């Protein structure tokens, strides 16, 4: 089976990557793609790496990496190539006119690679109309959704939607869209790529602060007044500059730098985006435990299907309980380490991308 994965990266990461690595601009497409994948942002090439190990052809395309996509276009004779537009114009043209200058390149890539399965990681720059144009070129179009659903998207041209939100499965099915539950995972290669450190931080939180994290923002502000917590991620300016949380916020970290901080954390906190509702799903569950930190996460009704609460991860239902449990762990290091080891063992046994790709292939075989 030939699987082409269309991914979308945070603009903040892309800007940081090209600013810190100006040398990649001289690289060809394959070299540049390898360089950016080596940073381990998001799922990087974990899907294609493990699908190849299982005997299939697979590769990732970063649809909104303009530097990389233009390189592919030049190397493959795509002419004439429209000039890149400012981000706000791209969004407006996409939303209003179903146009994006990058679509020409993506369509050419699909035509050249000839995948059996087009696997689209949402939230993406692709519109419903453009996905419809790609449909005749492949046997199966699959979307993976773990983010808010834009009001202007219908997803009606997908053959299948996979989601790590259990409650989204039924919502898509009610719209007449085939959907299956598909969990996220941990890329165990990172353990060999990041040196394991003695804990540098007693407590950390790595994550975004935005409108989508309204309850999480309130929580972080509250617990920062009571715990020795260091904060990392985007959205620092959304915090009160006079707050303790703001003073202990170190800004954005991406990819391997994020994993290094998790490896240096005795305890790390997790909270889900508001749309997760009462379900555990996010990548931090697996990233934190995979790197060996003791994970303290918000209680969700399905969490027990992923980890054993209070033995492999620690749960909380409110700010007071979070402060109480983290304080206990800080005072009882042996118990903290025991939970961290158990969580890591569970992740490395069950929640790796090698396991997930086996599950993915079973699903695809049912639908292709």
CB burial readout 261-274, b (16+ within 10 A) else e: bbbbbbbbbbbbbe
The whole-number pLDDT of residue 113 equals 98
Q: How much is the pLDDT for 101?
A: 87
Residues 298/272, Cβ–Cβ less than 8 Å: yes
pTM here is 0.93
**pLDDT on residue 99:** 72
d(CA 81, CA 347): 45
d(CA 284, CA 307): 13
| Residue 22 DSSP symbol | G
Q: Which region, left, alpha or beta, applies to residue 292 given φ > 0 means left and ψ of -120 to 50 means alpha?
A: left
Q: Which domains does the chain possess?
A: 2-185+353-367 (3.40.50), 190-350 (3.40.50.2000)
Scan for tokens 């998790």, then name that residue: 262
Task: Identify the pLDDT of residue 198.
Answer: 80
What is the C-alpha to C-alpha distance for residues 91 and 83, in angstroms, rounded to an integer?
15
pLDDT at position 171: 94
Per-residue pLDDT, 121: 96
Question: Which residue in 289, 296, 287 sits closest to 259, CA to CA?
Answer: 287
Q: Are 289 and 344 spatial neighbours (Cβ–Cβ below 8 Å)?
A: yes
**What's the longest Cα–Cα distance across the chain?**
65
Spell out, as residue ranges, where the chain has pLDDT lower than 50: none
The pLDDT value given to residue 85: 63
């Amino acid at each position: 089976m030939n699987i082409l994965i269309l991914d979308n990266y945070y603009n903040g990461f892309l800007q940081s990557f090209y600013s810190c690595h100006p040398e990649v601009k001289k690289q060809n497409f394959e070299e540049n793609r390898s360089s950016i994948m080596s940073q381990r942002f998001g799922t990087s090439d974990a899907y294609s790496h493990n699908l190849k190990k299982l005997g299939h052809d697979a590769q990732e395309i970063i649809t909104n990496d303009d530097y990389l996509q233009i390189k592919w276009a030049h190397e493959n004779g795509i002419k004439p190539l429209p000039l890149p537009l400012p981000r706000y114009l791209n969004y407006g043209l996409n939303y209003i006119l179903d146009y994006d200058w990058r679509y020409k390149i993506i369509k050419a890539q699909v035509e050249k690679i000839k995948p059996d399965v087009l696997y689209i990681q949402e939230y993406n720059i692709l519109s419903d109309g453009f996905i419809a144009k790609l449909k005749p070129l492949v046997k199966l179009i699959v979307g993976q959704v773990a983010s808010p659903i834009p009001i202007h998207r219908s997803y009606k041209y997908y053959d299948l939607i996979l989601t790590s939100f259990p409650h989204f499965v039924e919502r898509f099915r009610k719209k007449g869209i085939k959907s299956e539950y598909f969990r996220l995972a941990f890329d165990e290669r990172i353990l060999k790529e990041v040196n394991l450190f003695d804990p540098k931080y007693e407590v950390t939180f790595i994550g975004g602060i935005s409108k989508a994290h309204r309850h999480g923002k309130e929580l972080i502000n509250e617990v920062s007044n009571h715990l020795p917590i260091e904060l990392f991620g985007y959205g620092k300016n959304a915090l009160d500059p006079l707050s303790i949380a703001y003073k202990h916020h170190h800004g954005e970290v991406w990819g391997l730098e994020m994993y290094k901080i998790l490896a240096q954390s005795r305890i790390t906190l997790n909270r889900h985006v508001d749309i997760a509702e009462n379900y555990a799903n996010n990548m931090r569950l697996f990233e934190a435990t995979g790197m060996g930190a003791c994970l303290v996460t918000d209680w969700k009704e399905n969490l027990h299907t992923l980890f054993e609460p209070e033995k492999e991860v620690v749960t909380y239902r409110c700010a007071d309980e979070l402060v109480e449990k983290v304080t206990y762990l800080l005072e009882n290091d042996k118990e903290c380490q025991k939970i961290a080891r158990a969580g890591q063992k569970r992740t490395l046994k069950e929640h790796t991308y090698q396991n997930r790709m086996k599950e993915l292939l079973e699903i695809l075989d049912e639908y292709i």
